[in-house]
Amino acid sequence: MNNIQFAKRLQPLQSNVFADMDRAKALALAAGQQLIDLSLGSSDLPAEAHVIEAIAQSLHDRTTHGYLLFNGTQGFREAAANWYEQKFGIKVDPQTEVLPLIGSQEGTAHLPLALLNPGDFALLLDPGYPSHAGGVHLASGQIYPMPLREENGFLPVFADIPAPVLAQSRMMVLSYPHNPTAAIAPLSFFQEAVAFCQQHNLALVHDFPYVDLVFEATGDWEKNLLNPKSKIQNPKSLVPSILQADPEKSISIEFFTLSKSYNMGGFRIGYAIGNAQLINALRQVKAAVDFNQYRGILNGAIAALTGPQIGVKTAVATFQQRRDAFITALHRIGWNVPTPQATMYIWAKLPLPWSQNSIEFCTQLVKQTGVAASPGAGFGKSGEGYVRFALVHEPSLLETAVERIAKFLNSN
C-alpha cells in the first residue's frame, strides 16, 4: 500500500472533545452501564408542528427537488433580516448582508479561509467552541487564546493581548451567551470589542446560537444591557446582538442557528448576518464547497422565524426548569456551582482531587456510573478544572444523574 502523505493542518484536528467522549460512552455501554448523556448540547425537544408541516408540504412540490442556488434563498434571507429587525431594531439588507448556512458551525469554520493567510492570528475565546479553532487550523492560521477567568465574568481582557500578536491578527471570535461557561455579556462589552477591533483592523465575529436561551435579567447586567445613549432599542431580546454595538456593520458578522431556539439541530440550518464584504467573502468560500440545503428545509426555517414563537418560550421555560432541578440537586450533595442565566449548560468547577484533570474525571465518571459529561480541557487550556453538563434530559433523569455523581465522588 502506498504511504499517503496528509496535510499538516490535520494534526491539530485529531483530538476533539465530542469524539473523545463518544468513544468513552461506547465503552461504558459495552460494559453494561445505563447511559445518561449530558455531554452533547443537542436539544431533545421537538421542532414545532407548523415547522414540520412546512417541510412536509415542500416534499410534494417537485420544484423543490433540484439544486438551490443563492437567488433561490431570497425568501429565507428576507425572513432572517426581518427577524433581526424585529428583535434588535437593526436594519438588514437581505440581498447583501445575509447568507444561509448549514448551521453556524459551518460559517465559523469556513470564515477563516476567507480572512487568514498562513501564519495570521485569530483571537479566540479560551475556553471556546471547538469549531472556532478548527476553522483556523484548516486555514493554516495561528490561534491566540484569550483566557476567560471567573473573576472577570468569563469575559476576555483585550489589554492583555500582546502587540506583536495584534500586528499579525486578522479576526476576533466572540460568543455570548457563551458555550461552555454559560456567561453573558452586556452591550458595553460589545461596544468595547467593536472599538478595539476597529482600532486594530480586525474582523469581529460573533457566534450567537443561544440568543433566546436566557432565563432572567437581574442587577447590573440588566442595567448595562442597553446603552442609554443609543437610539437602538432591544424590545424582544434579553441579550444584545453584536450589531447593536456596530449598527453600521463596519467590521462585524454574526452567526445564528435554528438548532437551539427552534429545536432544529438535525435540520442543519442557520445564517450569517452583518458586514456585506464579510458576507460576500464567506459566500465565495461556500460556493466552492456546496450549494444550499433542500428548499423544504428553508421553508421550515421561514415558518420558524415568521410563525408563532410559543415554542421558543416553551423551550426557555423547559431549560430553566431543568437548570433549577440540576443546580438544586448538585447543591444538595455539596457541589456548590453558580446558577447560570443562559444557555443549556452548567459549567462546574471540579472538586479535589479532580481539579486539574477534567478528562480523567469525565472518563472515569462515565465508566463507573454511565453519566457522560464534557471535560473543560476539551474546550481549551483555560477550561481545565471545569466540567460541562448539558441539560438535555427531563428533571427526574437529571436528578438521577446527580445521585450517581454523588456516589462517584464519595467513592473516589
Residue 5 lies in a domain: no
Residue 406 lies in a domain: yes
Q: Tell me, yes or no, whether 292 and 335 share the same domain.
A: no
CA separation for the pair 179, 347 (Å, rounded): 9
Q: Tell me, yes or no, whether 254 and 366 share the same domain.
A: no
Q: Tell me, yes or no, whether 270 and 144 share the same domain.
A: yes
Q: Tell me, yes or no, whether 22 and 108 share the same domain.
A: no
**Of 81 and 29, which is predicted with more confidence?**
81
Buried b (16+ CB within 10 A) or exposed e, 224-235: ebbbeeeebebe
**Helix H segments across 104-218?**
104-115, 130-138, 163-167, 187-199
Of 243, 282, 231, 267, residue with least CA distance to 102: 267
Which triple of cell numbers denotes residue 157? 481582557
Q: Tell me, yes or no, whether 385 and 248 share the same domain.
A: no
Q: Tell me, yes or no, whether 94 and 130 share the same domain.
A: yes
Q: Tell me, yes or no, whether 236 and 363 share the same domain.
A: no
CATH number at residue 30: 3.90.1150.10
Q: Of the candidates 256, 278, 306, which is a domain's last residue?
A: 306
pLDDT at 385: 96
Q: Tell me, yes or no, whether 221 and 321 share the same domain.
A: no
**pTM for this model (two decimals):** 0.93
Span 193-203, average pLDDT: 98
Q: Tell me, yes or no, whether 139 and 234 share the same domain.
A: yes
Point out which residues pair with 126 in neighbouring strands.
Answer: 147
CATH number at residue 54: 3.40.640.10
Q: Tell me, yes or no, whether 112 and 227 share the same domain.
A: yes
Residue 79 lies in a domain: yes
Say which range, 31-40, 79-88, 124-133, 227-236, has the weakest mean pLDDT: 227-236
Residue 245 lies in a domain: yes
Q: Give tens-digit pLDDT for 311-351.
A: 999 999 999 999 999 999 999 999 999 999 999 999 999 99
* pLDDT above 80 (res 230): no
Domain count, the chain: 2
Q: Of the candidates 283, 306, 329, which is a domain's last residue?
A: 306
CA separation for the pair 145, 122 (Å, rounded): 8
pLDDT at 76: 98
Q: Tell me, yes or no, whether 24 and 74 share the same domain.
A: no
Residue entry with cell 474582523: 203
Which triple of cell numbers denotes residue 123? 483571537
pLDDT at 244: 96
Residue 63 lies in a domain: yes
Contacts of 356 (CB under 8 A, 6+ apart): 384, 385
The strand pair at 169-174 and 270-274 is best described as: unpaired
Whether residue 12 is preceded by a cis peptide bond, meaning omega within 30 degrees of 0, is no
Q: Tell me, yes or no, whether 196 and 235 share the same domain.
A: yes
Domain range for 120: 49-306
